[in-house]
Amino acid sequence: MINFDGQILPAESFYLNHENRGLRYGDTLFETIKAIHGQLLFWEDHYLRLMASMRILRMEIPMAFTMEYLEAEICRTLIASGLQEAAARVRLTVFRKNGGLYLPLSSQISFIIEATALSENTYSFSTERYEITLFKDHIVHNGLISTLKTGNKLIQVLGSIYARENGYQNCALLNQDKQVIEALNGNLFLVKDEILKTPALGDGCINGIMRKQICRIAKKLTHIQLSESAVSPFELQDADEIFITNVIMGIQPVTHYRKAVFKHPVTSEILKELNLLTAISN
C-alpha cells in the first residue's frame, strides 16, 4: 500500500502521470527512514532536514506539514502495509505539483509515502569481503544542492553499475577538487590512529542523518577525535579503518581498498553505541 497525499492506495494504482515534475525535471526530494514497531528512528532530524531542503528548493510547505502530521501519515501507511509490528524501510517523497516547463506553474507540493519490510530491528554488520574503489567517470560539484536528497541521482546510478560490472561492492565519489566526499549510498568515515574523519558538508557530501548520529557518538568517545575535513584518495589507502553509513544499514565496514585490508575495532565500538542510541530512542 502507498500513501498519496493522505489517501491510502494499492501500490499498483495509477496515481501519477507523465506530467509529474519529479519524472520530468527531478523536481523532488525524499527521505529514507527506518521504522521499528511503528517508531521512526531519528524522526526529528529527518523532518528538520526535509523542511530545510524544501525551503532551499523553494517548495511551498503546506500548513498541515507538521512533524506530528507527517509522523501520523507514515504510521497510517505502516499499518495499511501490515508493518506496524516489524522493521520497515519508509520512503517519504515530496515533489512539486504538475505544470510548467523548467518554470513551475505552482510551488505547491504532493507527497508519497511507501514502506517495505526489513529483516532486522537492530543495526549489525557483516565482516564478509566488502571492497570499494574510486568512481572517476563523473564528479559531484560541491554546493548546497549536492548536500540534499533530491531526485537527481544519476552519478550514484552510474557508479552502482560500474561497481557491479567490475566486481566491487561500492565506490567512493569525488568532487571537482579530487577530494573523496562519500560512497554511492551513504556517508564515508575513516579512522587513522585516534582520529575519526569524515568529509565536510562544504566538500559536497550528502547531509546524512546517520552521519549526524555517528558524529554525535564520536564526540562522546574520549579516546576518539572527530574531524570533519577534506579527505584525499591517498588517505583511504593509508587508513586503519573505513566504513559507510546510512539510516537503513547503519554501518557497513569496508574490508578492502586497492592493496589495503582493514579491520574494524573502532567501527565495532561505534556500532555498539549506535544500537544503544536507537534503543533509547525507541
Query: Is residue 114 helix, strand or coil?
Result: strand
Q: 24 with 81: CB under 8 angstroms?
A: no
Q: Where is 191: in which H helix or E strand? A: strand 187-192
What's the grid cell of residue 268?
Answer: 565495532
Model pLDDT, residue 279: 78
- pLDDT, tens digit, 9 for 90 and up, residues 50-87: 999 999 999 999 999 999 999 999 999 999 999 999 99
Distance CA 15, CA 265 (A): 48
Query: Which pLDDT band, with edges at 50, 70 and 90, does 282 fall under?
Result: very low
Residues whose CB falls within 8 Å of the CB of residue 65, separated by 6 or more in sequence, listed in order: 51
Nearest by Cα to 50 from 26, 22, 23, 31 = 31
Most confident of 9-13, 83-87, 123-127: 83-87
**Mean confidence (pLDDT) of the chain:** 95
Please name every residue paired with 71 in a beta bridge, in sequence order, or none if there are none.
none
Q: 184 with 163: CB under 8 angstroms?
A: yes
